[in-house]
Structure 1
Amino acid sequence: MTDRAPLTEHSSTGRITVEDAHLRNLRHVDVSLPRDALVAVTGVSGSGKSSLAFGTIHGEAQRRYLESVAPFARRLIAGAVDPQVTAIHGLPPTVALEQNRTGASARSTVGTISTISNSVRLLFSRCGDYPAELRRRVGRLDSDSFSPNTAAGMCPTCQGTGTVHTPTERTMVPDPDLSIDDGAVAAWPGAWQGKNFHDILVTLGYRTDVPWRELPAAQREWILFTDETPVVTVHPVRGAHQVQRTYRGTWRSVSAYLRETLASTGSESTRRRVLSFMEHAVCPACGGRRLIPDALKVTWQGLTVDRLNALSLEDLCDRVTGTGTAGTGTTGTAGPASAEAERLLLNQLTPTLTAAVDLGLGHLSLDRAATTLSAGELQRLRLASQLHSGLFGVVYVLDEPSAGLHPTEREAVLDLVRRFIRAGNSVILVEHDMSLVAAADHVIDVGPGAGELGGEVLWSGPVEGLAGADTPTGRALAAPLPRRCADPRPATGSLRVRGTRRNLDVDITLGLGQFTVVTGVSGSGKSTLVTGVLPEVAAAAGLRTDLITQKPIGRTPRSTLATYTGLFDHVRRLFARTPDAQQRGWTVSRFSYNVAEGQCPTCHGEGTIEVELVFLPGSYTVCPDCRGARYRPETLEVTWHGHTVADILGLTVAQAREVFADQPRIAAALETLHAVGLDYLRLGQGAPELSGGEAQRIKLATELQRTPTTRRRTPTVHLLDEPTTGLHPADVDLLVTELCRLVDAGDTVVVVEHDMRVAAQADRVVDLGPGAGAEGGRVVADGTPAEVAGAATATGRALAASSRV
């Protein structure tokens, strides 16, 4: 498929033809795929799958849509990626459902993401049972009155959170023996703002050099709680090399600063910091129910809206399907109009709820915070919500909808996408799960490697032609599970886990020095056990723990692969030791893009700048001065072996392994990144560009850098939450090899995993279940992979499906 052949507008009917796709690592690809079918795009991690499916095909559809939008409206729409393709013929509109990389807001819930809450609020507004007194006084409440996220519905005391946060002297000044100069007011912000508050107090004549407890009570009260905001002229005392300049400063009490920051900040880390200096209690006005009193008086089927939102989706689905569609529901609002409204609303709720339950989300509730959901759960909620959209003739581009699903639950994904196709749509699936790939109508395999070693179409056609082919995907299709060659490792110790937490009720002894995989259907309690309970139990036993989750390694482009792993510190030392740098008197800080002396003054070391155009969407572009290099030109005059520091950040891990082969500390860090399958990432790749799976493997690689000597001194319990997310089976095998290296070095590894490829290679499998939510949380099978394969559980059946276990 690498030799390009001319494709014409009418080369085939009912097909999408792509000509000369060259986005990112795609090598001028030509490919054709059918419409009204399920098309799987496969390949190793970083091979170019997403560049083809999302960047090129969906990106071109976005570009065409933007061209149809009035110019004055384009600036209100987020900018699209340039698809970098010569032409795409036969392309319908597209709907992309990607994995959530940025997380959800603090107020987002299962109900808001799935849009089910919209229908529920309307149900209570139009069809709820209103007390006579309320009906006489206000008539019918608007649907917004049933939402804690709107001004009409939120409890005014707690602003719809159900919790009141109160700053107290104890929380704001935890150590009253300290003086203000020594940091007694711990709640003050850092950097300039905290210094500003300090200097205003000095200007106002307050003592800052005596212990806090020795200040008069009236002064302590004023500093912490006054509503006054005096403006004073401050004469700050600065260092010898800092600017000595007076300014007009406005005072805010410490509690006022905390409350205002909590109300206005968009930063989750800032929010957590502010809340740490407050006491928290259930809201006395709403009792934690988040809504205005009137909304809590309305019921449907005997439930208030908050009680209904607390039901599991499975229970809610039973109520809705057993009531509305059968026409046996009762409504507290008389009249045919209300009955018709109820029928329409329940029929609208049914497809989404049914799909959510089928996709393994029945254990969730509408009020479950989105921040507690996995990326896979978030995407499946969005997938379920598409069922009532009524779209026809579009292409759905889906990013690993199998993420977070047990093998027995993945059939529901196929059922759902087939429903999209029967409704007159097409589906492109970027997927690593071979059971879903095998069920596709057409497969496009991209590779053969990752990054610059990928970008070619190795196969485009029926899946039968790919199975057994000499590609990573072909081999994975032919042999889905590897064979365990060695007997289980004997335990070197034990760790007993007993606990009841949420839906978890276990009493089990885990073996130290072993590789243990915790399995079970979605919501069975796996993550609660491994990431919630085990760290506390291991710490109480005096064991060192290493919890590796899919949380980002940073939130800005300043956090990169090179900085997180620590290898960039060694790189900067190499540059600082060059004769050129020493002659100029430059230290290692000069080669940091976070320091003003070395960074590009235009983009401040970001490498990109934001562009705002009056008639176009705002977007980011490469810095015109440093052209993405991040540094001042003079900084780049210093080279090491012919490379500038910007050149180093532009290297892939594979390229850097060659460049730093004779630098042991840097080479060791690069070797661990290579070992977990990250050769294709660039050293300067920013945290926002990394997937959750990539972030987790970077954390694992950082841990692998610890020397064997260090590990022998301090054996560690490594806890990982679905580390195979986003990994091709070939990459999974690399990951398992590295996890086994940790165990062979004396450490313990406990992994939450749905991938039977990992479970088949473990020393021990602990299966939780039998169901999700209240139906889960118990150990239903425990033993070697072969022993669990004989159990009558979901995992047992999945393992038994392969004769190779």
Structure 2
Amino acid sequence: MTTKALRLKGCNEHNLKNLSLSIPKECVVVVTGVSGSGKSSLAFDTLYAEGQRRYLEYLSPDVRAHIKLMKRPDVESIDGLSPTLATGHATLTQGRTTISSHTDIYDFLTLLFVKAGVQHSPATGKPLERLTRPEIVERILSEYGEGERIQLIAPIKLEDETAREAQQRLLAQGFVRILSGGEEVEEVNDEKDLEVVVDRLEMQEGIRERMAQSIETALDLSKGILKVQRGKSGEITYYTEIYVCPESGLSFPPLTAADFNPRSKRGACPACGGVGTVSRVDFSKFLWNKDLPLFDQITPFFKELPPATRRAAEDVLTALEGHPAYKKDPLKVLIEGLDEPLKVGKTHVQLNWKGLNRLFEDAKAEIPFSETSPCSLCHGQRLKPETLFCRIDGQSIATLEKMEVARLLTVLPKLAIAPSKKALTEEILPEILTRLQFLEEVGLGYLEMNRRFDTLSDGEAQRVELASLLGARLSGLLYVLDEPSRGLHPLDTKRLQAVVRALVEGSSVLMVEHDPQLILGADHIIEMGPGAGPLGGNVIFEGTPENLLSASDSPTGLWLKEKATPPFKKSAPA
């Protein structure tokens, strides 16, 4: 055991009575005692708070402006105090954070899928392929025989211009063969697609250089898509340097880490915004009064809408009353909407009516009498379809995250990763497996990785924190733990003890604890007391477990020797 120590002098925080003591560092120290004796006042309100305050105080003023600094505890001096981290005691993460995101496992799974995932078409479920430009040249040279005539065609994606404007631009660049609807045209229709014939070639010896240059031009024009057609009207084959589904025509850029983040615009499911659930109300279940106009029964719901949206909605309802479909089945039109634009107001502005639920969703207003249900597009998995259709050995990131810790520990090492991508994952998989092993060691192998933090018990949440701290591999810190054995079966306490011991490598651990195994497994014990509140605030024992068992005036020591009843309730917080 080290001789390094943390020295505290004259502490009067809360009920502590001018406390002065020396606490050994780089070892496990347990603070125990009756409820209300001052354990938390010493561990959290003094040592943790001052360690945090000192560290944050030396950050730049710009950073400190966004952080609420802790108040200085009532203490004369503390020497040898390291930066502090705490688990439990109101430090736990809430919100949509999951076990996998809190332990950084999700970040490493994201890297794994970015490096080794195979993108599939959401339309067909089939794997998508992309090629480099040299690979496209070689593929065409090998697939078309000598003497065959082919056309190299670039599909033009219209973004900030009309088809006619794009045609004029291409003609000015020297491209004379413009296709629309698969046919060569002199003037394109703005409502149709637009393609340009970049080159017509006859496959023969010496054609490589010209073909390579034309392929470069076509891919630049189309932003990564090349169509090769036999003759003028024969079979068409796609060659792409982005992912394209030939059957549906959908194209996808390579996925990045942002595409796997449900909180980013790039990764979130477009239907639910990355929440995983939608709020809808079944208006058909309402008891409509047939003797009253539907208009009068619907408009009270509009008070939740922004004023401008409310006025527009009322105008739409007025226009609906004269529509043939509304006259035939008014309730259906109100709820489900119309398939065609609706002429609204005196100026007959054309608007699309998509129904009541869509009205509230688009306005981001609270839907009256709504029920929350899983999103029908992402099925509660929060990510956009193209991300969910990225697979490794048939598994998506969502299916892996849904697994329990223990199951994921067995599944991950067996994933069949393409040989060409294995080298890219050699450093990623061990990081995931190590963190999963830490979760298993603290007795959380039964939890699903996508379990939300705010649904965990205090004991479970704190042990997730412990596993996260182990995975971070930090050193030079003082870890302050609040009853990490809370909610843990006695058979798992020994494994927890090993995890706590692992934190000591290069750091120090101070934990408030009542569990006999953890008390006796500590290097140093501080017992607070003798009573609670005004009767506490003193150190009534300090020393090793051996000294504790031989102390005749220690309630905890007498209890551990089974000579007295427990001096505290195990479940009671300090």
Report which of the two structures shows the higher radius of gyration computed on alpha carbons. 2
Return the structure number with greater relative CO, CA threshold 8 A, min gap 6: 2
Using the size of structure 2 for normalisation, the TM-score is 0.50
Using the size of structure 1 for normalisation, the TM-score is 0.36
